[in-house]
């Protein structure tokens, strides 16, 4: 089992969600987040005063999938979330040791 | 078919209803006229009586027309404070101070109203000397429903009183923009109480009160034209704001830490309400519903529009982008500048006044404030002090005797008509407003600071006024 954390543009959430559901990802967790990557935000001007806004609103999608599904899920996210401009976001993948369904104590991949 | 018959029947009924009495009246006339042997003097007396009845009816009609407009105007001016100004300022602060900032304006709606009834109306509009009114109208004694011709001959004196109260409310509320995010609520209440008594009431008396030094309509020594409160409202509040901002010092972290507006959307809604409310402020200052009110209404609108264009044009050229905050700030600056001029200038002059004010206030807020380094947090001085001063002076330039022959029929008023004296009088009025604001505000600040302290503690300032002063939060993110 692996966890895929994708930080994406807020406007791409629906596209990413649909793409993941289409390839058979059953569950996901969505977080409203703020962050920046290399471009370090932008500047805003209020009555002549410049403010650099380095933390931009983003959406973080968290899913945990079986090892075989990781590539499909990553490809689905990339193709749905890419605009080709700065600020498209990043994907992080990590190993998951255990998954437990709270309702009936099921463990492992069956709990996903 | 049935419907058609019904309609015909209905029409017949109507004709009977209208025509019947007419026929009857003709018969009565026919009966009485041959028998009319009334003498000429009787007929004359009847005619005189009829004329008198007509005159009373006309006066009553005018009075109720004027009163209707003045009551609406009073409500519009109150709407400028809450929610207009409260939203405008509330959006410009950080979100931990939104309620504290709105509460400062709302507190004026309550506090100044009570003061007005107790004593400050009397000090502003009661009989007194050239500088301040007396105590005759304390507790609104003698402020009844009959009009006072010295102020407004066609509206109840209480309408005049409540209308003027709305000005007395918004004026101190404007100052709150300068000390936003750092003043103790308790000290603010004391400061504002003293400010209303020491600065607002005398200034209002000098410009609008009976026998006031600057009152142009009632032959003051220095006749200063101030149609709706350029000096009384905007110069006094703006200059006092500057003094308060410097006296209190900067907010913690200013200008190092970013302090952007937490919601330009709130400010946007507030500014639009200010624009609408300003029609009551300026056109209402005609104190009647006649042509002068229309003239002031038109100039008010034109100046606001031109100033919005002036500010965003300056922004566009210097910063590359026209901002929403710039557009609304410009409109407010234009409204401030046209306030003293509203009932004295032509619509085209209003466009010029607005355009100049938009560019000038942009320069004051963006350049001058940075050069001097004071923390006038929400630009109460940059917009109201600067715009009010500019407007008062431009009134002396553009005032037109064809719009409002206030100095007598055919007498030139403004500089463009060749009366350079008026410009001197305007500058005199502005100088008096600046002086009384600087000296009075400094004394009040000093007294309040020594006795109860003006600023919140550092910790309270970091927590924000909402939590530290009022024990609540504007936005609850947890639920």
pLDDT tens digits along A27-64: 999 999 988 888 777 888 898 888 888 888 899 999 99
For A2-111, which CATH class?
alpha beta
CA distance B329 to chain A (A): 9
Q: What is the 3-state secondary structure (H, E, C) of chain B?
A: CHHHHHHHHHHHHHHHHHHHHHHHHHHHHHHHCCCCCCCHHHHHHHHHHHHHHHHHHHHHHHHHHHHHHHHHHHHHHHHHHHHHHHHHHHHHCCHHHHHHHHHHHHHHHHHHHHHHHHHHHHHHHCCECCCCECCCCHHHCCCCCCCECCCECCCCHHHHHHHHHHHHHHHHHHHCCCCCCCECHHHHHHHHHHHHHHHHHHHHHHHHCCCCCCECCCCCCCCECCCCCHHHHHHHHHHHHHHHHHHHCCCCCCCCCCCCCCCHHHHHHHHHHHHHHHHHHHHHHHCCCCHHHHHHHHHHHHHHHHHHHHHHHHHHHHHCCCCHHHHHHHHHHHHHHHCCCCCCCCHHHHHHHHHHHHHHHHHHHHHHHHHHCCCCCCCHHHHHHHHHHHHHHHHHHHCCCCCCCCCCCCCCCCHHHCCHHHHHHHHHHHHHHHHHHHHHHHHHHHHHHHHCCCECCHHHHHHCHHHHHHCCCCCCCCC
Say if the Cβ atoms of B260 and A47 lie within 8 Å: no
pLDDT computed for residue B20 by the predictor: 46
Return the pLDDT at B257.
85
What pLDDT score was predicted for residue B280? Answer: 97
- Res B4: pLDDT: 63
Point out the residue among B255, B261, B367 whose CB comes nearest to the CB of A46.
B261
- Residues of A whose CB is below 8 A from B325: 46-47
Q: How far is CA B334 from the centre of its chain?
A: 14
Cβ–Cβ contact A38 with B under 8 A? no
CB of A44 less than 8 A from some CB of B: yes
Using the beta-carbon criterion (under 8 Å), do B329 and A52 form an inter-chain contact? no
Give me the average pLDDT of each 10-residue run along chain B (479 residues): 61 53 48 62 94 94 95 98 97 96 97 98 95 95 94 96 97 96 97 97 95 86 93 96 96 89 96 98 96 97 98 95 96 97 96 97 94 93 96 96 88 92 94 96 97 95 95 83
Look at residue B24 in the predicted model and tell me its pLDDT. 47
pLDDT at A41: 75
Domain extents in chain A: 2-111
CB contact under 8 A, B319 and A47: no
**Which residue does chain A place closest to B258, by CA atoms?**
A51
Candidates A41, A45, A46, A47: best to mutate against B (most CBs of B within 10 A) is A47
What is the pLDDT, as a whole number, of residue B130? 92
CB pair distance less than 8 Å for B261 and A52: no
Q: Of B258, B321, B325, which is closest to A47 when you measure between CB atoms?
A: B325
List of chain B residues whose C-beta atoms are within 8 Å of the C-beta of residue A45: 319, 321, 323
Q: Which residues of A touch B321 (CB under 8 A)?
A: 45
Given a cut of 90, is residue A86 above it in pLDDT? Answer: no
pLDDT bracket for residue A66 (50, 70, 90): very high
Q: In this predicted structure, what is the pLDDT of residue B186?
A: 97
Q: Model-level pTM?
A: 0.82
pLDDT of residue A35: 87
Chain B residues in contact with A48 by the CB 8 A cut-off are 319, 362, 365-367, 370
Domains of chain B: 64-470 (1.10.3430.10)
pLDDT mean over A12-36: 92
Q: What pLDDT, on a 0 to 100 scale, did the predictor assign at position A87?
A: 86
pLDDT at A93: 96
Nearest Cβ partner for B366 among A44, A48, A51: A48
Of the candidates B319, B362, B365, the beta carbon closest to that of A45 is on B319
Nearest CA in chain A to B264: A46
């Amino acid at each position: 089992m692996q966890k895929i954390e994708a930080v994406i543009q807020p406007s791409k959430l629906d596209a990413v969600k649909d793409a993941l559901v289409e390839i058979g990802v059953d569950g996901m967790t969505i977080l409203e987040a703020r962050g920046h990557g290399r471009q370090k935000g932008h500047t805003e001007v209020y009555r002549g005063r410049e403010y650099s806004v380095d933390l931009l609103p983003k959406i973080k999608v968290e899913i945990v999938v079986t090892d075989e599904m990781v590539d499909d899920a990553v490809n689905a996210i990339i193709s749905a979330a890419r605009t080709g401009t700065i600020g498209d976001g990043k994907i992080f993948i990590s190993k998951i040791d255990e998954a437990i369904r709270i309702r009936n104590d099921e463990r492992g991949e069956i709990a996903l | 078919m049935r419907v058609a018959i019904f309609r015909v029947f209905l029409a017949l009924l109507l004709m009977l209803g209208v025509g019947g009495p007419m026929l009857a009246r003709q018969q009565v006339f026919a009966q009485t006229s041959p028998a009319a042997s009334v003498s000429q003097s009787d007929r004359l007396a009847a005619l005189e009586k009829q004329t008198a009845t007509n005159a009373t009816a006309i006066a009553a009609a005018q009075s109720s027309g004027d009163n209707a407009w003045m009551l609406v105007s009073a409500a519009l001016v109150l709407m400028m404070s809450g929610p207009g100004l409260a939203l405008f300022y509330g959006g410009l602060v950080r979100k931990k101070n939104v309620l504290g900032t709105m509460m400062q304006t709302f507190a004026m709606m309550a506090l100044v109203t009570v003061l007005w009834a107790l004593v400050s109306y009397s000090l502003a509009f009661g009989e007194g000397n050239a500088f301040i009114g007396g105590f005759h109208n304390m507790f609104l004694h003698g402020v009844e429903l009959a009009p006072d011709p010295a102020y407004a001959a066609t509206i109840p004196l209480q309408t005049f009183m409540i209308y003027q109260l709305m000005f007395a409310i918004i004026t101190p509320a404007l100052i709150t923009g300068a000390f936003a995010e750092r003043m103790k609520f308790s000290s603010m209440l004391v400061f504002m109480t003293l400010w209303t008594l020491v600065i607002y009431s005398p200034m209002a008396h000098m410009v609008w009160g009976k026998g006031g030094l600057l009152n142009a309509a009632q032959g003051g020594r220095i006749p200063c034209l101030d149609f709706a409160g350029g000096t009384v409202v905007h110069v006094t509040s703006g200059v006092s704001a500057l003094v308060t901002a410097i006296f209190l010092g900067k907010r913690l972290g200013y200008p190092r830490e970013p302090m952007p507006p937490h919601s330009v959307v709130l400010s946007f809604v507030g500014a639009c309400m200010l624009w609408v409310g300003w029609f009551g402020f300026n056109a209402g200052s005609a104190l009647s519903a006649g042509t002068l009110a229309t003239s002031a209404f038109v100039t008010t609108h034109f100046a606001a529009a031109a100033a919005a264009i002036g500010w965003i044009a300056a922004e566009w050229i210097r910063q590359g982008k026209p901002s929403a905050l710039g557009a609304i700030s410009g409109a407010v600056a234009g409204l401030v500048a046209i306030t003293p001029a509203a009932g004295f200038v032509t619509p085209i002059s209003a466009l010029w006044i607005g355009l100049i004010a938009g560019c000038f206030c942009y320069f004051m807020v963006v350049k001058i404030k940075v050069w001097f380094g004071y923390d006038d947090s929400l630009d109460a001085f940059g917009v109201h002090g600067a715009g009010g001063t500019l407007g008062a002076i431009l009134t002396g330039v553009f005032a037109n005797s064809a719009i409002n022959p206030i100095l007598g029929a055919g007498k030139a008023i403004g500089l463009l008509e060749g009366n350079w004296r008026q410009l001197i009088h305007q500058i005199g009025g502005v100088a008096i407003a600046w002086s009384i604001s600087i000296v009075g505000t400094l004394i009040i600040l000093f007294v309040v600071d020594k006795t109860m302290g003006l600023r919140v503690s550092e910790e309270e300032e970091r927590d924000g006024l909402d939590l530290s002063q009022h024990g609540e939060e504007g936005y609850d993110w947890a639920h």
